[in-house]
Chain A
């Protein structure tokens, strides 16, 4: 097929993808293969990180955005870690994801982001259910010897640390919550869990939705200020 774009083609991905981890121009890419050789999923359904960089350099944004290539990546960052030219491979892939129509974002991620924005957590768990589960687990813990005076501190103003939660800890694996809490208790940590917007996973990162990502971050920042906290525990 013909290269129908001249070299000066403006690629919006190229323009907008942040240059991270270092400020290295993307065209510096050597196509040397370091990223592809190290990528754990190179070859799966035609995935090849250097190809994605070359597509963007050739201005083939539309083609990339239309394909499923951006969604095959795990964003693990192994490619960038070794790239001799400091190319922003992860940023490019995230930016491409951001350009995909939201209804074309893979179901699970799309749903999670939507629910997160609407309800404050990716599961869409109502506040009263959340409080019930948390307090229930807390009560179970206080039945154990040595933890008799344990209580889950919810919305405790002036504590030291904000404890956000991975949603699966609330939903299916809530017995794992107590491991953290035991440590906090024994260490006499001053901490708190917010009653709303407690989600500790930012799926805006994975969906490439920068606005959603910012909203999630803003919520946490808001807790920190409103509850006058100085330390954040972010499980993912």
Chain B
């Protein structure tokens, strides 16, 4: 396992050389958090409510800090796999004493952890400026830190599967875009699941999207134990299912790889 750890570490080090580029994304984070603050401020005022979907304005903005930081930190996993398949560089990866899926996982997750840390730091400063410190209990943070890597792993497995579809499809950018948008809306990035129509909520809680974005963010702001244990189970089951799918698809896809030359 240590070699994958070093791949992740190398990925972080190489990305640190371009920390300005990652930092420039925080401009967008600032814009989006400001807009959502304006939108929710108006909504809380017009409905004359202190809490919407169980969240106060302070919690709502901190919820958005977490969801936006997670989504904006996403590296182009499907594009990396797509390019490796399309350009044939997958063949050169196969001769290395490494598992290709695990090396891509280590590489992209290292990058994502760094991006998330920068985004979350910047987002926290912005949220402190707008609504002040979060109303957190101490146990919220370790619970969140347990859910976060599982959320990244689950998200990775789905993007990796999409990338592998390049073996059969002319272009995977369309599916990637659709999946990312499904995560945004059905995963509760823009609006917490509690504000969806009641009939939708039961379905959305079972789908993997909510375990990727909504769950960790909600746990961070509320520290709900019941939700936490449900999410851990949901994430582990979903990761197991998608890992199995990756194994099946990857094994089938490798039979289509032809390489020659030296």
Are the chains A and B members of one assembly?
no
